Structure 1
């Protein structure tokens, strides 16, 4: 425990992620410096071109989901801070005082322009302490090399993350909307904690966290789901699925499919394609105006494996769009189907089993 201060506190940091970050930083910084040298020419001023970018690269490649690592944070934060530093250096000639004021005003300027970026503090300091190279550049310094360098780094980071199949720029999770056109919150937001609970918790902790509020909401809901899956992991999809599944193929007439939905009082029909593999699903929503065959009205199917935890289907079956999950094997052949009613009945029985009768003892 004596060394716990040296343990990284960054959640989700795996060896693979760190290796990717190192490769990305190598490519990003090297190419940014090389391209900057080609544009501006080589000389004693070249190291200053990339100095604050080293810290920017740590955020861009190691924690690309951070609000501090997004494109506007990097480009705006470095540029605005460098501009602040140049202005402060122009009016205040006492170095110690100028450095403190430059960093403080850089934080304020980045906050007001919504581009808070920690390396911006280094950009402000560089503008004050950069020496003859920065002094000779004057008010051009925040734009060339700082803004140019920042844009190059972001562009290279964007391309690298796409190749690495990482999400960048990171878009915070959107709040689920009610698909029924009413003002009620969607079903999954009517239970458990609410957005105001997150605000109250953040207010009580009185700290700033490096995570978007909507991402925090999504993380906490996933924690709730994983806790439920762990608690009820013995209940598998194969335990509650319907095995006599009514399905159609891609060449079934739309009118026939509509009649099957009505005759069997169901809301979803799996559609099979070649070699009896699942191709998608159709329901009354897709078939309402469809003509010809069901192949023209197929929607992507929500699927699960037979040994998946049934409780894990809750987010899908409460999204206001999916009425059933198709249980398939490794070859995408249909094994069964789980509806909202199936899962509701199973969870009700689980709750009844966990809750003793009034007056009973365990």
Structure 2
């Protein structure tokens, strides 16, 4: 194992400190910035007016610094669990109460500040309103030696409530969902691949991770499922049926004998034969299931004898059993065009019970057949790239 020099270690450490790039565009950045400006302006003006009109001679401030941090969450990351209305109002108000209690009970500011922040985190966890600015609110009240519990009502509660109301209006007007109510991940649309993980799988991983994430559990599941769907689209989205189908498949015609069809299926080692007319247009499909259904092969006793008797050509004029392909074939056949994306047929194979899909061109003529084997081979090649 090569030895890593101190210079390389220092370089790696410095690179690790580099901030990750943001995935939002400039429009979203300006939306958040202007929202923070509007939210604090409205909160400040209303609270200053309330302080002058209703609280004359009130010694407490009408706007406090932790609201600036709350504004960042409400307007820049409105989908965060830490930015939801109860998190903002409950986190700031309860933390203010904790800070005031510590200021009254602990004379030393250093001890009071430390106790206020620690207890505020514990209280917010218990009340399910974890909000980072709540720690600042607790520290502000304890270090500022605020001893009046009225501070928790005004400015903490009133400021927080006003900011949340402004955030609701602004985010809704600018196309953001706030409050960000939790919604279950949407089920895949017909034709889309089914997800490869369950809700229980995600819950198990989150419990094992055992860490607060700044994204809701339902949003995380939705993001993972959309990412998986995007991955399928990237790998298979441009792949068309004519690129993976079996070309020039073995076919039979309506009047071909059952013995001819059965021999061809055994020779080609296939379980289905498209049935075409003289212009190579599809009129049906005959499958192994069709043979078994008409030959009454559900019982194992005498299986081989009954099958041989069924496919053997009848020499008499009148017979009770079918003798040609057209009498046992399936007439209603699921088909796909040659230029159709393979991804569209995922649900047809996985849930529709189909094993063979004839492929036709723009003239409705048979050009190939797509089997489950073809589909799995295409998926394996795409994922294995």
Query: What TM-score range do you get, normalising by the shorter chain?
Result: 0.5 to 0.7
1:353 to 378, 381, 385: 378
Q: Which residue pairs with 1:76 in the alignment?
A: 90
1:207 to 196, 208, 211: 211
Instruction: Tell me whether 1:60 sits opposite 2:77 in the alignment.
Output: no
Q: What is the CA–CA distance in structure 2 between the aligned matches of 1:314 and 1:45, rounded to whole Å?
A: 69
- The correspondence of residues 19-58 of structure 1 with structure 2, limited to 5 A, is 19-41=30-52, 49-58=63-72
Q: What is the CA–CA distance in structure 2 between the aligned matches of 1:176 and 1:93, rounded to whole Å?
A: 54
Instruction: Tell me whether 1:101 sits opposite 2:115 in the alignment.
Output: yes
Instruction: Tell me whether 1:5 sits opposite 2:17 in the alignment.
Output: yes
1:194 to 189, 194, 198: 198
* 2:89 alignment partner, SS class: helix
Q: What is the CA–CA distance in structure 2 between the aligned matches of 1:40 and 1:313, rounded to whole Å?
A: 66
1:311 to 343, 349, 353: 343
How far did 1:346 drift?
8.7
Q: What is the CA–CA distance in structure 2 between the aligned matches of 1:36 and 1:47, rounded to whole Å?
A: 9
Q: Which residue pairs with 2:138 in the alignment?
A: 124
* 1:50 alignment partner, SS class: coil
Q: What is the CA–CA distance in structure 2 between the aligned matches of 1:314 and 1:43, rounded to whole Å?
A: 72
Q: What is the CA–CA distance in structure 1 between the aligned matches of 2:82 and 2:177, rounded to whole Å?
A: 15
Q: Which residue pairs with 1:144 in the alignment?
A: 154
In the alignment of these two chains, the number of paired residues is 254
Length-normalised TM-score, structure 2: 0.57
Q: Which runs of no fewer than 5 residues in structure 2 stay unpaired?
A: 1-11, 244-338, 352-369
- The correspondence of residues 293-308 of structure 1 with structure 2, limited to 5 A, is none
Q: Which residue pairs with 1:159 in the alignment?
A: 169
Contact 1:32 1:152 survives alignment (8 Å): yes
Q: Which runs of no fewer than 5 residues in structure 1 stay unpaired?
A: 178-185, 240-306, 320-344, 357-362
Q: What is the CA–CA distance in structure 1 between the aligned matches of 2:101 and 2:92, rounded to whole Å?
A: 14
Length-normalised TM-score, structure 1: 0.60
Contact 2:192 2:229 survives alignment (8 Å): no
Q: Which residue pairs with 1:221 in the alignment?
A: 225
Q: What is the CA–CA distance in structure 1 between the aligned matches of 2:193 and 2:61, rounded to whole Å?
A: 51
Contact 1:225 1:312 survives alignment (8 Å): no
Deviations 1:208-246 (A, max 9, x none): 321111211111111111110000121479x9xxxxxxx
Q: What is the CA–CA distance in structure 2 between the aligned matches of 1:190 and 1:68, rounded to whole Å?
A: 32
How far did 1:162 drift?
1.0
Contact 2:70 2:133 survives alignment (8 Å): yes
Deviations 1:5-63 (A, max 9, x none): 232366x4332221111000000011111111000129996766231100000111111
Q: What is the CA–CA distance in structure 2 between the aligned matches of 1:94 and 1:159, rounded to whole Å?
A: 42
Query: How has the CA–CA distance of structure 1 residues 63 and 236 changed in structure 2, closer, same or farther, with 3 Å as cutoff?
Result: farther
How far did 1:199 drift?
3.3
Deviations 1:137-164 (A, max 9, x none): x011001111000000000000001110
Q: What is the CA–CA distance in structure 2 between the aligned matches of 1:20 and 1:309, rounded to whole Å?
A: 38
Contact 1:88 1:102 survives alignment (8 Å): yes
How far did 1:194 drift?
2.1
Q: Which residue pairs with 1:232 in the alignment?
A: 236
Give RMSD over aligned pairs. Answer: 3.9
Query: How has the CA–CA distance of structure 1 residues 191 and 21 changed in structure 2, closer, same or farther, with 3 Å as cutoff?
Result: closer
Deviations 1:66-115 (A, max 9, x none): 00000000000000000111111111111110000011110011000000
Larger RCO, structure (CA 8 Å, separation 6 or more): 2
How far did 1:188 drift?
8.7
Q: Which protein shows a greater Rg?
A: 2
Contact 1:32 1:50 survives alignment (8 Å): no
Contact 2:82 2:131 survives alignment (8 Å): yes
Q: What is the CA–CA distance in structure 2 between the aligned matches of 1:231 and 1:355, rounded to whole Å?
A: 10
How far did 1:207 drift?
3.4
Q: What is the CA–CA distance in structure 1 between the aligned matches of 2:141 and 2:71, rounded to whole Å?
A: 19
Query: How has the CA–CA distance of structure 1 residues 161 and 313 changed in structure 2, closer, same or farther, with 3 Å as cutoff?
Result: farther
Which of 46-55 and 20-29 deviates more? 46-55
